[in-house]
Amino acid sequence: MSGIIGKKVGMTSFYDDNGKNIPCTVIEAGPCVITQVKTPETDGYNALQLGFEDQKESRVNQPKMGHFKKAKVSPKKKLVEFRDFEGEFNLGDSVTVEIFEEGEYVDVVGTSKGKGFQGVVKRYNFRGVGDATHGQHNRMRAPGSIGAASYPARVFKGMRMAGQMGNKRVKETNLQVMKVFPEKNLLVVKGAIPGAKNSYVIVEK
């Protein structure tokens, strides 16, 4: 599937032809350069490795530096592989935001914002105890019972409890492309995408 590496710029909104206000996310998508071409003969499958955003040579180790020199491109910060890429591309070619069209639907992959250690009310939307009468002390946001005693005499796997929240890979599917600005390498998609501003995202067709 075709795709591109980008960076989340932020959110905005605009009005459509019917006067409806649509919240949108602006993505700086590419330009990306092809740093490796994989074929069934050499690797067993078809894929393109794309690189995004220049990196200082002093921050790149020798094996990666050799990889970039083989492709005859400058070092890149972010490398992502896309299988079964649509279209004919060669080593060193650029992939720009022009592979997308207004009105089509894309999937966006990003890393969600980390929330740290959170309780069950914030993490899983537990209701908590609403009634503070009858001697209720300090159990307003507690999870309640997590299992029985003699049977099963253990806590089942997957029990929703307090713990680390966020900072995970998240894919938002079927987001409509509202605008494409090729001259500025900007892609505007409908709705929100995971991650903070300036975080890397992957946009897939």
pTM for the structure as a whole: 0.84
User: Mean pLDDT over residues 6-19, rounded?
Assistant: 91
Sheet holding 94-95, edge to edge: 76-83, 47-54, 32-38, 94-95
Q: Are residues 54 and 144 in the same domain?
A: no
Q: By residue range, what is the domain housing residue 106?
A: 3-113+169-204
For 37-72, write each residue's pLDDT tens digit.
988 898 898 899 999 999 998 999 999 999 899 888
Percent of the chain with pLDDT over 90: 64
Q: Are residues 79 and 155 in the same domain?
A: no
User: Mean pLDDT over residues 118-126, rounded?
Assistant: 94
| Partners of 48 in the β-ladder | 37, 82
pLDDT at position 116 over 90: yes
Helices (H), the chain: 62-71, 120-124
Q: What distance in Å separates the CA atoms of residue 200 and residue 3, rounded to the nearest whole number?
A: 13
In this structure, what CATH number is given to the domain that contains residue 29? 2.40.30.10
Q: Are residues 126 and 48 in the same domain?
A: no
Q: Are residues 90 and 184 in the same domain?
A: yes
Q: Are residues 21 and 97 in the same domain?
A: yes
Q: Are residues 85 and 15 in the same domain?
A: yes
Q: Are residues 91 and 37 in the same domain?
A: yes
Q: How confident is the model at residue 177 (pLDDT cuts 50, 70, 90)?
A: very high
Q: What distance in Å separates the CA atoms of residue 197 and residue 113, rounded to the nearest whole number?
A: 10
Q: How many domains does the chain have?
A: 2
Q: Are residues 73 and 173 in the same domain?
A: yes
Q: Which residues contact 60 (CB under 8 A, 6 or more apart)?
A: 68, 75
Q: Are residues 41 and 96 in the same domain?
A: yes
